[in-house]
Amino acid sequence: MNWKTFRAMLARDAHVARRNFIPMVLQTMLQPMLFTFVFGQVMTRSGMMASSYKMILLPGIMAVSMVMTGIMGVAMPLIGEFQFTREIEDRLLAPIKIEWLAVEKVVAGMVQSLASGAVVVPAAWLVLGNVELSFANAWMFAVIVMLVALLSAAGGLTLGCSVGQTQVGLLFSLVLAPMIMFGCAYYPWSSLASYPILQKLVLVNPLVYASEGLRGTLVPDVPHISVAVVIAALAAMDVALVLLGLKQFRGKAMS
């Protein structure tokens, strides 16, 4: 592979991401931060919710922000490049295999996802106030963060190569919105025990494992799915999404 070409394309995407970082962060963080303020401050201070809810909420907010930033950071540019600007045609002429163009998109999306997580944690922590986070299992936390970043970028690659320009609205209403609401970001998976069928169905949602994994490493005293199970599930989903995304990208590029 031509590493110089790969680095050049990555540098270009990094430049574009830096230029659009603030609008992108506002777009992906606005809803989670509003939810953080309303449920983490208003509802807890009024006594309508226990103050311990803050510990459940913060890891979920991080998961939502990372997953949504990676998906949007990869999917939306791809939709534009394939169907509006046709900019992808210039990249396909580069001295590099088609699959590596997709890999570069995934790496760029992972960087954006990690940056979003690094921004939202201190922001949410400041909004919520006194939330004790544990970094005793720092290596597990690092592994899960990387798996979540890859999940979001690979998911963005798959969606960006699968959704048509007339289906962007459906992407939000039929895919992303249900993913967030049933992703156990704002409540632990164990709280769905009263709805056994739903509790099992949501296990197909990747955001469930992102939320529960971050919850299990940052606030281990809160009920959560086993970290080992989370790592295995995220790894399997990452592999599946990467392979599917590469296939979709190649098919889109060759059509």
User: Is residue 198 predicted with pLDDT exceeding 70?
Assistant: yes
Residue 27's pLDDT band, with cuts at 50, 70 and 90, is low
Q: Tell me the mean pLDDT in the region 235-254.
A: 90
Mapped onto helix, strand or coil, the DSSP state of residue 87 is coil
Structural domain including 202 reads 3-254
Side-chain-facing half-sphere of 106: CA atoms under 13 Å = 25
Select from 192, 66, 218 the least CA-distant residue to 128.
218
Q: Kindly state the helix (H) or strand (E) to which residue 202 belongs, with its residue range.
A: none
Place of tokens 């059509």: 255
Residue range 203-226, pLDDT digits in tens: 999 999 999 999 999 988 888 999
The mean predicted confidence, pLDDT, of the chain is: 84
- Residue 86 Ramachandran class (φ > 0 left, ψ -120 to 50 alpha, else beta): left
Structural domains of the chain, count: 1
Two structure tokens written together for 75? 């999917």
**Which pLDDT value is given to residue 183?**
93
Phi, psi of 203 (to 5 degrees): -70, -10
**Are 245 and 154 a contacting pair, CB within 8 Å?**
yes
Distances (CA, A) of 133 to 9, 149, 189: 37, 20, 19
pLDDT score recorded for residue 184: 93
Task: Quote the radius of gyration of the chain (alpha carbons, Å).
Answer: 19
What's the pLDDT at 19?
Answer: 74
Tens digits of per-residue pLDDT, 80-102? 777 666 666 666 666 678 888 88
Contacting residues for 26 by C-beta, under 8 A, at least 6 apart: none
Q: Are 59 and 141 in contact (CB under 8 A)?
A: no
Cβ 156 vs Cβ 238: under 8 Å: no
Question: Considering the entire predicted model, what is its pTM?
Answer: 0.87
Please report the pLDDT score of residue 95 as a whole number. 66
Name the pLDDT band for 38 (thresholds 50, 70, 90): confident
User: How far apart, in whole angstroms, are the C-alpha atoms of residue 150 and residue 242?
Assistant: 9
Choice between 190 and 46, residue whose per-residue pLDDT is larger? 190
* Nearest CA-CA partner of 183 in 200, 205, 216, 152: 205
Number of H helices, E strands in the chain: 12, 0
